[in-house]
Amino acid sequence: DVVMTQSPLSLPVTLGQPASIFCRSSQSLVYDDGNTYLNWFQQRPGQSPRRLIYKVSNRDSGVPDRFSGSGSGTYFTLKISRVEAEDVGVYYCLQGTHWPGSFGQGTKLEIK
């Protein structure tokens, strides 16, 4: 199985400052069709996860443009350009290239 390793696991951030979350996979996430199925999800306290980013860098409808995804192969990054109070929660990466799909451990973002 593919192991997804996220870092950091805890991320205290000052409002208005940038934040980055990293996700490394134990093998390449490039699928046979040439796509890389790496997703990012946000789980606010008491809520279900919601997808922010799919296929590495495609932002979902309604997701603020301060969220961006990048990376390739086995190393991926979710960046928040300026953290706002509503960004508090846990962020997960999910690889969908290999079954079973695997989640990262989660990164808890909090405001300093």
Partner 1 sequence: QVQLQESGPKLVKPSETLSLTCTVSGGSISGYYWGWVRQPPGKGLEWVGYVYYTGDTNYIPSLESRVTISVHTSKNQFFLILSSVTAADTALYYCVKLGTGTIDFWGQGTLVTVSS
CB of 109 to partner 1, least distance (A): 15
Q: Kindly state the tokens that stand for 41.
A: 């999800």
- Report cis status (omega within 30 of 0) of the bond before 100: yes
Task: Work out whether 75 is an interface residue with partner 1 (CB under 8 A).
Answer: no
CB of 14 to partner 1, least distance (A): 26
Task: Work out whether 51 is an interface residue with partner 1 (CB under 8 A).
Answer: yes
Task: Work out whether 100 is an interface residue with partner 1 (CB under 8 A).
Answer: yes
Q: How many residues does the chain have?
A: 112
Task: Work out whether 74 is an interface residue with partner 1 (CB under 8 A).
Answer: no
List Cα–Cα distances, 17 to 42, 83, 87, 106, in angstroms. Answer: 18, 6, 12, 20
Task: Work out whether 91 is an interface residue with partner 1 (CB under 8 A).
Answer: no
